[in-house]
Structure 1
């Protein structure tokens, strides 16, 4: 409990042969999975995405972690909904627990972290910097107030007041945001497809019971949940492109 963030990161980087610089990076879930693997040696590391960049990939890692906890009867809830947000405090608390668990259970033998993940990439994305930059009085577009400069590049001439570095930085952020949007759309469609499968199964069972003159309260309640909506909610189109992800829960 008394270990600082620096000490915890030092231990984590040495154990797993990675180069994390912030506790928040643990929110992807990959490091937690491999720490547990260093104890038991049976985590399916081929399914762990150490370089996960999107929340739906983080969820795959946490599903692996929860399955391992269950198989080894580890009575510790994993607050997935908090950890995936990559907030420092939530991940610091869980990393502290992981370190204590490792101290109590590690077998004391050499652990080849790189071999266990088969040399897979451990690059972990940093949090996206805010568009506004301090000290420059720049608008989100990178230009001085009162001027409008397209993201594609600055105006010709030095009067534009936008350095190539700022333009390149904003373009990189835009690409990252586009990638995150694509990931969120895939995640949405992934879960919508699962709910649609459940809906079909429930409806089929209800119709079967109705034909036999029977009913099932639980199935009716499930239907109510499936069909309930909130103001501003839009159902994804039925012909949305299905996911080609091979990972499933």
Structure 2
């Protein structure tokens, strides 16, 4: 059977899941993949799937759900998470084509309430997720398509719109970089919170062992790793005053 085109696949995904995806790359968030398998089996934990994921660490969490599904259903197919979460067209197109073939072979024809299964969770995944690339950012289409750039003010000479387009492109890149930075900050906070939970748990276990006159070398080694520093990096002193705070 011939592989479906991007347009055909998007039409199928949107009709099955009641979405409004415009690019195959949007499947790189992992949410649609998870719900396609839910349409087959009906028991995927959709409450753990973030359909409007916007950051890579959220995409990875969705794909972890998908990996668990593959393991539970004994589906012998590697999930190339590292590639798919980059939201590149070719990688996601190939994976989606495989999923469509799997769905055709395993879907029982039962009705599927996509909105109900995700409990009305928002699905406003951005139309363009892939990281910035030079050619894309430099094109006028990139600025107009993503930022709704304003039409140059009329009355200028024909050639005078070029600087305006360049400015719009720079503004678009700045907005995309700000969004990317926000994502990195959230990802940092996400993993820092996990490390903090590990630190507290280890500390509690160490103190409990010390009270009973025992110790655990593995826990001590974990603490050593947690508290180790590198040249040029110092652990912030939480008791110190901010540098920009003046006292009188």
Same fold (TM over 0.5): yes
Equivalent runs, 1:159-198 vs 2, <5 Å: 162-198=162-198
- In the aligned structure 2, how far is the partner of 1:34 from the partner of 1:223? 40
Q: Aligned partners of 2:81, 2:67: CA distance in 1, in Å?
A: 9
- Choose 118-127 or 96-105, whichever is displaced more: 118-127
Report the counterpart of residue 81 of structure 2 in structure 1: 80
Shift of the alpha carbon at 1:28?
Answer: 0.7
Distance 1:183 1:113 in 2: 28
**Distance (Å, rounded) in 2 between the aligned partners of 1:216 and 1:83:** 40
Q: Is the 8 A contact 1:56 1:187 kept in 2?
A: yes
Indicate conservation of the 8 Å contact 1:53/1:125, yes or no: no
- On the 8 A contact 1:189/1:236 being kept in 2, the answer is no
Q: Specify which of 117, 121, 127 is matched with residue 123 of structure 2.
A: 121
* Residue number in structure 2 paired with 1:96: 97
RMSD over aligned Cα atoms: 3.8
Distance in 2 (CA, whole Å) between partners of 1:36 and 1:230 is: 45
Check 1:231–1:66 CA distance in 2 against 1; reply closer, same or farther (3 A cut).
farther
- SS of structure 2 residue aligned to 1:103: helix
SS in 1 for 2:66: helix
Query: 1: distance between equivalents of 2:211 and 2:64?
Result: 39
Query: Which runs of 5 or more structure 2 residues have no equivalent in the other structure?
Result: 141-155, 240-248
Counterparts in 2 of 1:50 and 1:132: CA distance versus 1, 3 Å? closer
Q: Choose between structure 1 and 2: higher helix proportion.
A: 2
8 Å contact from structure 2 (residues 10, 22) kept in 1:
yes
Secondary structure of 2:103's partner?
helix
The answer on whether the counterparts of 2:50 and 2:58 sit within 8 Å (CA) in structure 1 is yes
Partner of 1:153: none
Count of aligned residue pairs for this structure pair: 220
What TM-score, normalized by structure 1, do the two folds share?
Answer: 0.67
* CA distance in 1: counterparts of 2:224 and 2:117, whole angstroms: 46
Q: Is the 8 A contact 2:21 2:127 kept in 1?
A: no
Q: Residue 109 of structure 1 aligns with which residue?
A: 110
Cα 1:196–1:37, aligned 2, differ >3 Å: closer, same or farther?
A: same
1:218 to partner: Cα distance: 3.1
2:138 is aligned to 133
Contact 2:229–2:235 at 8 Å: present in 1 too? Answer: no
Gaps of 5+ in 1: 136-156, 240-249
Query: Which residue of the partner structure matches residue 53 of structure 1?
Result: 54
Counterpart contact for 2:137–2:173, Cα < 8 Å: no
SS at match of 1:56: helix
Superimposed CA distance per residue, residues 173-207 of structure 1 (whole angstroms, 9 cap, x where no aligned partner): 32232122112101111211111121122133234
Change in CA separation of 1:9 and 1:132 when aligned onto 2, cut-off 3 Å: closer
